[in-house]
Structure 1
């Protein structure tokens, strides 16, 4: 199916599953659809199963969007408790379209949990409370990772029932299948043929020979920015070797914990941050937790520019300098913290696991597939690259070519369903298709809803469109102070709201000076006052400047 046909289907309001090979333009199609929804004033929730995937579309994780967090199960009491949170009610009640990217990495029970929360909040027993649901992904990727309750170096064999298409919610959606057939990421036809041969499970000796020619004995790691390995033990070995090559003082940061040993042990095993973090200035690192306010998510990469006993500064690939603080991982019961671990959300990242690479697009990589043990692993690793010339292999085994049999069977079924649907859409009269699209717009667009929007809601919509405070004030003919009041209201009621773009309103130096002044003054009577900060800064900046920075504290 072409992107054009898939877009026509999306605009009718059908629940849709968008799939296709790596580089087939799934994310590009979704971005086009989001733009159309914005033009129609249809509220869309943009989410993904992982933080790094969510950043591709300026969204948040489905766990944060729905309020389910990382729980594996929700009781009815817990669902009701989540549904009482005002910021979640405000967000979900107004959402007419929910998009979940990289859905293949989402467990089946978690999609069921999201469905239950949305139905509860909307007070509507239809699937997902009657909103349009758009699922995006490729099940030839790796399956969801289970909890590492035993050996953290080796993944447990995944049961196929954990793939999300086995969930009750998936079955209830009556999804239209849009299987994209065009190729966009790889411009190298030879490489596309190799990937397609793995995808179709028709890897012959000719394909194997081509890959064998990419095996290298020596490699200049200075020119290869990413190394991918199957197991954590290999990743740790490479990262420690690279760290030892850097001259300079090594700083060691230990994980802190509170709570019963058994619960702390569970947190330490499931937490991606290491118990002992070793760093030097110049070390390549990756963030392992989401913090949208500070501008990083699980998977964001960067370089340590400064570190001492208390402070770590990381420069991301985008050039942003982030002061990294300790973050907490907790186990809660009925709203009470039973156990907690605290660590800087970083780990060394000259090398990363293949599973962690999902969602990335790389110009070059050094990949070791000699130790492939999970079906789909070879396809995921190779399809991260844009061309064959960027591929450097340490080796490859036959299991690297294998795919999950059930996913392969489902994929064939989806291709057939997509082909039939494509033919049906192309044979429809334009007037019938346009009528279906108009019906959807009338039912979902805020333009056709009688209730007048609250002034704060209008500000929120413009914030989520990426507009800064001055632009909003000008368009709405309001003062900057008023728009700041609205923004402070939403930030207080919805801590996960993505307003990171507002950081660009101030020069880096101004931002650092104001941030440092706030840290110096600290919290007074439960809030952060402006006047003492202004005195520290000797009236160098405006109160509006201070309030902008305070949004991120």
Structure 2
């Protein structure tokens, strides 16, 4: 690793830069050098401190993006900018409400570059890794604010006042949070408590400018085994803090193509609850959008050739639950040409009482595929589309939810190509890692050593948030739960 820093600096500086870089990588996963017997950096190398933000370049980018804002985005941007310049009495918290395709991401990035170009430090976060990849800093809420996964009603940040992370947060004047509608209300409360604590100011979010955005018509917080009232209580709509936010609506859809206007309008009416329904709240689906035949044939074709592989990542079939997407993925993989390779995991269990380990035989552990975990038997072919299940390097775009194209299958690593995002086309090497599920309902802690990926020709509705496809099918073998309305 020292070879990355050996240009124009002496050996002592190279060593300091290497240890600091390692510490940075470990901090992304909540760890420190000292935990692994590696010397902790005692100071920040000058070469890292000297990475000054190019204000002129940031301002130029922001102005170019500002010039492209539409009639909905322009007043929204002006309101947020005015809040910092004390030209508005409407408060400093904003919620950008808009369906997919109305330009929320473009608005966030415009504000980010304009503020940074004026020397105003901005932190941008998103609720999921895939959405974080669309923002400049590519950080999730959990990563930036050091919340546990999953975050619970009793969860708090591990950041302490006067720590390095706290000082960095203190310097930020503006926070941008994408897909906030997916977050539970107690996550917003935890951020509020953290910022008040760090700033030592009893104002909402420590007096910071907050720009949240999302679409309550889409995926809401998942509340396992929750009833209707619990689902509603978990939503940001039920948070007392939401009264601090001025809601700004975006409605002009920038993605709707020719001939799609009517269906786009129908989707908005569905999300707004404006469609006629029967006594059971059931609606009639447009007959023109329904398929009686094989959905896999319609989306991927009856036969997949080598020439089809470059376009496979632009197609998907969405399902309500993982169990349905697993079946679709298996069917598509069988149609993909090439030799199939199977990678098996090494599973063990950690229990509070060591004697309980014998109650969970290896065969039983192998049969489990908890939420967010790869299967025990991972079947792949070159050209297969897979999803990353663990944040490996968020700053490089290797975040949970990103889709990859398998290029080479090796014994100990898998060579993949990034299929989407700002790093599209770059090659990455995926290693085996040890993962533990975030499923708190298991009576033990499962440890699985496996490649942190799974097939992604098909995915759940939740996993599709923040992604765009050219061809998409929706498989509904059962009623969709409240938290999975799309």
Q: Does 1:238 align with 2:325?
A: no
CA distance in 2, matches of 1:131, 1:211: 48
Structural RMSD (CA): 3.4
**Structure-2 residue corresponding to 1:28:** 106
Offset of 1:176 from its aligned partner? 0.7
Q: How many angstroms apart in 2 are the aligned matches of 1:216 and 1:339?
A: 40
CA positional deviation for 1:295: 3.2
**Distance in 2 between the 1:15 and 1:88 partners?**
23
Q: Which runs of 5+ in 2 are unaligned?
A: 1-70, 84-91, 278-282, 439-444
Structure 2 SS opposite 1:369: coil
Instruction: Write out per-residue CA displacement over residues 399-437 of structure 1, whole angstroms, 9 at most, x where no aligned residue.
Output: xxxxxxxxxxxxxxxxxxxxxxxxxxxxxxxxxxxxxxx
Matched, 1:93 2:170: yes
- Structure 1 pair 98/269, CA: closer, same or farther in 2 (3 Å)? same
Counterparts in 2 of 1:99 and 1:191: CA distance versus 1, 3 Å:
same
Q: CA 1:280–1:103 in 2, change beyond 3 Å: closer, same or farther?
A: same
1:373 aligns to 2:480 (yes or no): yes
Aligned length: 365
Instruction: Name the CA distance, whole Å, in 2 between partners of 1:184 and 1:293.
Output: 28
Q: Which residue of 2 aligns with 1:287?
A: 388
For 1:63 and 1:256, how far apart are their aligned partners in 2? 27
CA gap 1:118/1:74 in 2 versus in 1, 3 angstroms: farther
Confirm whether residue 179 of structure 1 aligns to residue 249 of structure 2.
yes
Distance 2:299 2:455 in 1: 19
Match of 2:338 in 1: 247
Distance 1:215 1:195, change over 3 A: farther
Give the aligned partner of residue 511 of structure 1: none
Distance 1:324 1:352 in 2: 20
Partner of 2:124: 46
1:188-199 alignment, distance < 5 Å: 188-199=260-271
CA distance in 1, matches of 2:380, 2:371: 22
1-side partners of 2:457 and 2:293: how far apart? 18
Match of 1:308 among 387, 410, 422: 410
Quickly say closer, same or farther: Cα 1:103–1:272, change in 2 above 3 A.
farther
> What CA deviation, in whole Å up to 9, does each residue of 1:431-457 have, x standing for no partner?
xxxxxxxxxxxxxxxxxxxxxxxxxxx
Distance 1:278 1:87, change over 3 A: farther
Say if 2:413 and 2:431, in contact at 8 Å, map to a contact too.
yes
Matched-pair contact (CA < 8 Å) for 1:18–1:135 = yes
Q: Give how far 1:163 is off.
A: 0.8
Give yes or no for contact 2:179–2:215 (8 Å, CA) kept in 1. yes
Q: State the shift of 1:140 in Å.
A: 0.8
Paired position in structure 2 for 1:165: 237
1:236 Cα deviation after fit? 0.7
CA-CA distance at 1:179 after TM superposition: 1.0
Alignment of 1:79-478 (within 5 A): 79=157, 81-83=158-160, 86-146=163-223, 159-171=231-243, 174-187=244-257, 188-203=260-275, 208-212=285-289, 216-217=293-294, 218-219=297-298, 221=300, 222=304, 225-245=315-335, 246-260=337-351, 269-291=370-392, 292-317=394-419, 318-330=424-436, 340-375=447-482, 377=484, 380=486
- Do the aligned partners of residues 121 and 275 (structure 1) sit closer, same or farther apart at CA in structure 2, a change above 3 Å counting? farther
> Is the 1:288–1:345 Cα contact (8 Å) retained in structure 2?
yes
Report the secondary structure of 1:302's partner residue.
strand
Unaligned runs of 5+ in 1: 333-337, 381-553
Asked if the contact 1:51/1:298 (under 8 Å) is kept, the reply is: yes
Q: Secondary structure at the match of 2:475?
A: strand
1:88 deviates by 1.1
Cα separation, partners in 2 of 1:211 and 1:344, compared to 1, 3 Å: same
Contact 2:387/2:402 (CA < 8 Å) preserved in 1? yes
Q: Is the 8 A contact 1:67 1:88 kept in 2?
A: no
User: Which residue of structure 2 aligns with residue 8 of structure 1?
Assistant: 78
Higher normalized helix content (fraction of residues): 1
Relative to structure 2, which stretch is displaced further, 245-254 or 347-356? 245-254
* Deviation for aligned residue 1:43: 0.7
> Which secondary structure state, in structure 2, belongs to the residue aligned with residue 233 of structure 1?
helix
Are the aligned partners of 1:15 and 1:176 in contact in 2 as well (CA < 8 Å)? yes
Cα gap change, 1:199 to 1:10, in 2 (>3 Å): same
- The verdict on how the C-alpha distance between 1:69 and 1:209 changes in structure 2, with shifts beyond 3 A counting, is closer
- C-alpha distance 51-85 of structure 1, shift in aligned 2 (>3 A): farther
TM-score (norm 1): 0.59
Tell me the distance in 2 between the aligned counterparts of 1:208 and 1:339. 42
SS of 1:356's equivalent?
helix
- What is the Cα deviation at residue 202 of structure 1? 3.9
Q: Normalising by the residue count of structure 2, what TM-score does the alignment of the two structures yield?
A: 0.67
Partner of 2:49: none
CA change 1:319–1:177 in 2 (3 A) is same
Q: Deviations over 1:363-420 (max 9, x none)?
A: 2112223423224756x2xxxxxxxxxxxxxxxxxxxxxxxxxxxxxxxxxxxxxxxx
Q: How has the CA–CA distance of structure 1 residues 257 and 112 changed in structure 2, closer, same or farther, with 3 Å as cutoff? A: farther
Summarize the Cα distance change of 1:111–1:372 in structure 2 as closer, same or farther, 3 Å threshold: same
Q: Does the 8 Å CA contact 2:153/2:186 hold for their aligned counterparts? A: no
Provide the C-alpha distance between the structure 1 equivalents of 2:223 and 2:162, rounded to a whole number of angstroms: 29
Secondary structure, counterpart of 2:467 in structure 1 = coil
Query: Given the superposition, is the C-alpha separation of residues 9 and 64 from structure 1 closer, same or farther in structure 2, using an over 3 Å criterion?
Result: same
